[in-house]
Chains A and B, each alone.
Chain A
C-alpha cells in the first residue's frame, strides 16, 4: 500500500488559515489522494479528495503538487470545530481500501 507522511501535530489560531501537508513520494498514476478527519470518539469524516488538479469544496481546498508527490489540505479560516486528527490517504486505482496512518492532530487556539 502506498505510504503517506504527515506531521504528528500542528497548531493554529481561530480565524486563521491552516495548511496541513502530506508527502506521498511513492504515489502511482492511478492513486487518488483522500483526506478525512476524526473527532474524539467519533467516526472519520470525509473532507476532500483529488487526483491531479486542485479541488475545492465547502469544507476545504486540496492543493496537489505538479509531480503529485505531495499535497496540502487548506482550511481557509480555522474554527474550534476544526480541531481533529486529519488523515491523508492514498487509494489505489485498483482498490477501495483506505489505509490510515497516524494522521496530524490539529489544535485550534481561541
Chain B
C-alpha cells in the first residue's frame, strides 16, 4: 500500500545536539512538507519542497534545515539553534505543480508524526 512513513515515532534530544527526523513516501508525490504542532494548536509550516533539489522556507524555518535529494525522501534536521524544539512534527506530501496539479486543488497526505522531546 502507498503511504508516507515517519520515523522514529519518539525522539529525544540533548542540549546542543542536532537530530534528524525521517520522512519517506511511495505515493509518487512531487511536493513534500514539514509541519510543527504544539499542544492544543493547529499545524505550522516549517519547510516545503515542490520538486527534487528545491525547497522553500515556511512560516517558522529558523533552527531547522531540510534536504530533498530524492523524490521519496524529505528529512528534517532540528538544529541546536532551535531553542524550543519540543513538539509533534508532521510530514506530508501531495501532487504538485510539477505533475500538472492545479494549485490549491491537491489534498495533502500526512504521516503519523514524530514526537520530539528534550532530555
Residues of chain A touching chain B, judged by Cβ–Cβ distance below 8 Å, are 30-32, 34, 36, 41-46, 49, 51, 87, 91-103
Contacts and interface: CB of A to CB of B under 8 A. Distances in A.
6 contacts: A34-B107, A42-B112, A93-B104, A96-B31, A96-B50, A96-B108
A42 B50 CA distance: 24
A102 B41 contact: yes
A96 B42 contact: no
Given A43-B90, A43-B92, A95 B108 contact: no
A95 B50 CA distance: 10
Contact of B107 (A46, A95, A103): A46
Contact of A100 (B44, B48, B109): B44
Nearest to B94: A96
Contact of A97 (B41, B48, B88, B105): B48
Given A30-B103, A51-B105, A103-B42, 7 more contacts: A41-B88, A43-B112, A46-B109, A87-B42, A96-B48, A98-B45, A98-B92
The 7 A-B residue pairs with the shortest CB-CB distance, nearest first, are A100-B42, A43-B110, A91-B104, A32-B104, A46-B107, A100-B43, A93-B104
A49 B102 CA distance: 13
Interface centre among B88, B104, B109 (most CB of A within 10 A): B104
